[in-house]
Chain A
Amino acid sequence: MLHEIIIAGFGGQGILSMGQLLTYAGMIENKEVAWLPSYGPEMRGGTANCAVTVSDIPISSPVVSEPTAVIIMNKPSLIKFEPMVKPDGFILVNSSLVDQKVKRPDIKVYEIPANEIAEEMGNSRVAGNIMLGALQELTGVVSIDSMEETLKKVLPPHKHNLIPVNRQALEKGAEFVRSK
């Protein structure tokens, strides 16, 4: 199975870290992985994106031009990446931050009010993990356990107290799309 995922939003939303979490978790599962941050003019003007490839076989191109799934964290990213999604692919839109609707009928659309869910949890900073939880539920790209394992490995010990809330956010995201 080849997952070619783009995560896109504003700088400061943790876009690049979200991609790294996914990538690292894929590596823990002994899958082939690659992570590539955005290049070109979109680096300026405050938008950020990264491409994550998770595959069972060696990855030929780490550059993703036809993503199997995208996570959209702001409106400019929706405009940019909606046309690129592979037919039948997934588009996960953080509807707390994006009011525009997806127009394409040939892709699977999920609107997730990630910031509102995060605030209900009492931690507005976990919106990204809510989106990742939804992505894993829909695509099975990596398991929540592997993502938790990743956090244990990459976070310094004094931040390990944040792992339970991050795991909870992943589960909330998964739950949200399960109930749709």
Chain B
Amino acid sequence: MSKILMKGNEAFGEAAVLAGCKYFFGYPITPQSELPHYMAKRLPEVGGVFLQAESEIAAINMVYGAAGAGARVMTSSSGPGISLKMEGVSYLAGAELPAVLVNVVRGGPGLGNIAPAQSDYFQATKGGGHGDYRLIVLAPSSVQEIVDLTAKAFDLADQYMNPVMLLADGILGQMMEPVELKDIKPNIPAKPWAVNGMKGRAYRNLIVSVHIVAEDNEKFNLTLQAKYDKIFQNEVLYENYKMDDAEFVMVAYGSSARLAKGAVDKAREKGLKVGLIRPITLWPFPSERLAEAATTAKAFLTVEMSLGQMVEDVRLAVNGVKPVYLYTRTGGMVPVVKDIVVELEKIVQGGGK
């Protein structure tokens, strides 16, 4: 199959359509608007529905309804809009409904700006909404990976009956790269639990997230935990880049990982033994891989476009065995490869921060 040149935001849309997503509910916000634009044009071609909601709150609740009705459904937004959607995300998790959300992260907090950032890591991986739940979080770092992980997100959502977030940023959303739309097929399982009217069923279907008796809620939450344990055991994804002989290990995801790869290449030209571990699943986080790397590495450097959020998970995984340093730009600023290399050189000489 030949390659086509696509913007990241459009690639989310096309991959979703190929994966059998027929419903999209959203509300405009920069820098993800090309995705709803694409869906508004594309979904009617496949007999689907694109609907612009009155707010992100309404959009995520439409997603809740469509997911409960048994459809593959997607919504997308950026930071401020994702904050509003967190109510619905908690309900999706509580009702165990499959849905896919895209967050094309921008600079924050507050209104911030529309420049690329990674400062929604905590929100995505640690909760964001209320209650004991986990969101599966996938972090593509190229347009091709946007395609591949979008298709995977729908499958994971259905398999685990859990919302899945694709966490990108303004660079990935706006960037154009060639992609292959490799045989993505709608891999949709039967959904006997969906609310679609009782016809043909001897039982009625009920989808709620309430367990009014605390004992029942605890029991339910423990079943959620068992599910999350299974996800943690089976679904961790990461990439090793030039890790074979690496003495210094960078950890970065998404756009930052592209910059970190550039820094690995430049540092290697200078003779530094540097490698990169790139988490692809941010939750479940590749903690075991990092713990393993900590047995051989001399030090770690986390590169993020935030004040330092993923670094907390890196430190938990490394567990004090080796030093973990942090290099960040924040507020929509993008790290520069040669600055990362300077930081690496400092660490190699024993002076990182």
Contact = CB atoms under 8 A, between A and B. Distances in A.
Bind each other = yes
18 contacts: A20-B5, A33-B178, A34-B175, A36-B171, A36-B176, A39-B116, A39-B334, A40-B115, A40-B332, A60-B262, A61-B259, A62-B175, A62-B177, A62-B258, A63-B259, A63-B334, A63-B336, A66-B338
Interface string B328-339: 000010101110
Nearest to A38: B174
Contacts of A37: 174
A110 interface: no
Interface of B: 3, 5, 114-116, 170-171, 174-178, 255, 258-259, 261-262, 264-265, 332, 334, 336-338
Most buried by B among A27, A37, A63: A63
Contacts of B116: 39
Given A35-B175, A63-B334, A27 B5 contact: yes
Given A27-B3, A35-B177, A60 B338 contact: no
A61 B174 contact: no
Nearest to A39: B115
A156 B177 CA distance: 21
Interface string A4-34: 0000000000000000100110010000011
A136 to B, nearest CB: 18
Nearest to B175: A36
Interface string A40-83: 10000000000000000001111101100000000000000000
Interface of A: 20, 23-24, 27, 33-37, 39-40, 59-63, 65-66
Given A36-B175, A60-B265, 15 more contacts: A23-B5, A33-B5, A33-B177, A34-B176, A35-B5, A35-B177, A39-B334, A40-B332, A59-B258, A60-B258, A61-B259, A62-B175, A63-B171, A63-B337, A65-B337
Contacts of A36: 171, 174-176
Nearest to B7: A35
A60 B175 contact: no
Contacts of A66: 338
Contacts of B264: 60
A100 to B, nearest CB: 25
A59 B176 CA distance: 13
A34 B11 CA distance: 14
A40 B338 CA distance: 20
A173 to B, nearest CB: 23
